[in-house]
Structure 1
Amino acid sequence: MIAEPTSYTLESLTEKLQGLSNIEALRTLANLFPGEVVFSTSLGYEDQVITDLILSNNIPIRIFTLDTGRMFAETYSVWKKTNDRYATKIEAYFPERASEEVLMSTKGPYSFYDSVENRKECCGIRKVAPLNRALKGQKIWVTGIRAEQSANRQSMPQLEWDEAHSLYKFHPLMDWTFEEVKQYVKDNNVPYNPLHDRGFVSIGCQPCTRAIQPGEDFRAGRWWWEDNSKKECGLHGERVKE
């Protein structure tokens, strides 16, 4: 196992967070690792909750998003509304231009529909490589992952060690239900993506996301053309060359 980057072990850090509220836990991490805690937002329901927890309580955690170049117009709209509401500036990380140009020139704009390998290549260029840059030198990565989002996330602990990026990952909403997320957004008047009202539960790139039908799995709207129950883009399990 790769050596952990601080004097804190996973066990000792988990113990420090034990019994704390989400606000207290986020503030504790920000105090323990000043300037080295980042939150990656996709501007979806869960991430808007965490953004509100951070900014409404003046917790010094840097917030960034990955602009893949294929986002919905509604996502840009909620991005602006969030900046305006909290008087903040969410940072943007883009794909590396040369890699994107090669992909588009050699395989065209919709190569990801042709095979899982092509789709992962596109995700690698548009998401994973920019994420690697955003996380470089950081100690804590805060995410909006929840256990009920997919079967392979149900066994994740709230705090874990990420060997791929050599940092800790903290999932403050791990035990929240989708109804609890929506209720928090409503109760606190948090800006949210209007696509959620149209059946879009998990929102990613426009060509790769659709609304889900009643009874469908939470992740059914992502890469729906693939016959795979464990569909992920690689952000939480892969690392690509930069």
Structure 2
Amino acid sequence: MTDITNALANKPVVEAIQYLLEQYPGAVAFSTSFGQEDQVIADIIWRNHLPVRVFTLDTGRLFQETYDVMDVTLARYKQPIEVFYPETAAVEKLVSEKGPNSFYDSVENRKQCCGIRKVVPLNRALEGVKVWITGLRAEQSENRHDMQTLEWDEHRHLYKYNPLIHWGYDEVLAYLSQNNVPYNKLHDKGYISIGCAPCTRAIGPGEHPRAGRWWWEQSQKECGLHG
């Protein structure tokens, strides 16, 4: 861990990813949910022709605007994006037994839904992966404040590389603008952190970026993908 951390120290994102690809050829993957941070990383990967495997999770409850930006992104870069869906039987059982909106009833129910629709598909997508690239930023939530650029995911036995962890929101917006990167139009309507449609709302002035996620509950505002 120390050796690879030192090797990545002070490297620009492109050079860092190139180094990780050299160390783990064919085993570096980037997960995108088509948020602003993820669009920055996708642009960096494809603009620089980096052979990183890119995938996304389709929970079955996404905004139409999320599908729209995926469509535009595919047309713009003409690069493949693998799509992973929840297990049909698990979703059918959940909805049959608890209804389509059980996540509003309790944190336990919400985490169960996230587990079925996100965590299980993610674990399947990460099989064989040695380095998982994410779009996490420290200021997104308290849970992410102390995260490092490179971390060891003990549960999944892989490195998690967070190239934007120390970026500010203004830096993300500047990159998108300067490079004409397509982004989700919901961001222009106050949706900063975008997840599933029934679990996401716009935030008001002064609200925390994650306040629009699972706004009806008091929790760490995480779904289990990153803790």
CA distance in 1 between partners of 2:75 and 2:206 (Å): 36
Does residue 1:195 correspond to 2:167, yes or no?
A: no
Aligned partner (choices 219, 224, 227) of residue 234 of structure 1: 224
User: Amino acid of the residue matched to residue 222 of structure 2?
Assistant: E
Per-residue CA deviation, residues 153-188 of structure 1 (Å, 9 max, x unaligned), is: 111111000011100000000110011001100000
User: Amino acid of the residue matched to residue 93 of structure 1?
Assistant: F
CA distance in 2 between partners of 1:50 and 1:114 (Å): 35
Aligned partner (choices 149, 155, 166) of residue 158 of structure 1: 149
Residue 81 of structure 1: CA displacement? 0.6
What corresponds to 1:107 in structure 2? Answer: 98
Q: Alignment partner of 2:121: what SS?
A: helix
Aligned partner (choices 12, 36, 39) of residue 21 of structure 1: 12
Q: Alignment partner of 2:33: what SS?
A: coil
Query: TM (normalized to structure 1)?
Result: 0.93
User: Amino acid of the residue matched to residue 122 of structure 2?
Assistant: L
Per-residue CA deviation, residues 56-100 of structure 1 (Å, 9 max, x unaligned), is: 000010000000000000000000111111111211000000000
CA distance in 1 between partners of 2:168 and 2:78 (Å): 29
Residue 27 of structure 1: CA displacement? 1.3
Structure 2 spans left out of the alignment, 5+ residues: none
Does residue 1:223 correspond to 2:214, yes or no?
A: yes
Alignment of 1:1-242 (within 5 A): 10-228=1-219, 230-237=220-227
CA distance in 2 between partners of 1:42 and 1:185 (Å): 16
Q: Alignment partner of 2:195: what SS?
A: coil
CA distance in 1 between partners of 2:10 and 2:144 (Å): 22
Per-residue CA deviation, residues 18-73 of structure 1 (Å, 9 max, x unaligned), is: 12101111111112111100000010000000000000000010000000000000
Q: Return structure 1 stretches of 4+ with deviation > 4 angstroms.
A: none
Query: TM (normalized to structure 2)?
Result: 0.99
Q: Alignment partner of 2:54: what SS?
A: strand
CA distance in 2 between partners of 1:53 and 1:219 (Å): 25
Q: Alignment partner of 1:141: what SS?
A: strand
CA distance in 2 between partners of 1:180 and 1:130 (Å): 31
Per-residue CA deviation, residues 101-149 of structure 1 (Å, 9 max, x unaligned), is: 0001011100000000000000000000000000011100000000000
CA RMSD in angstroms, aligned pairs only? 0.6
Residue 204 of structure 1: CA displacement? 0.3
User: Amino acid of the residue matched to residue 148 of structure 1?
Assistant: E
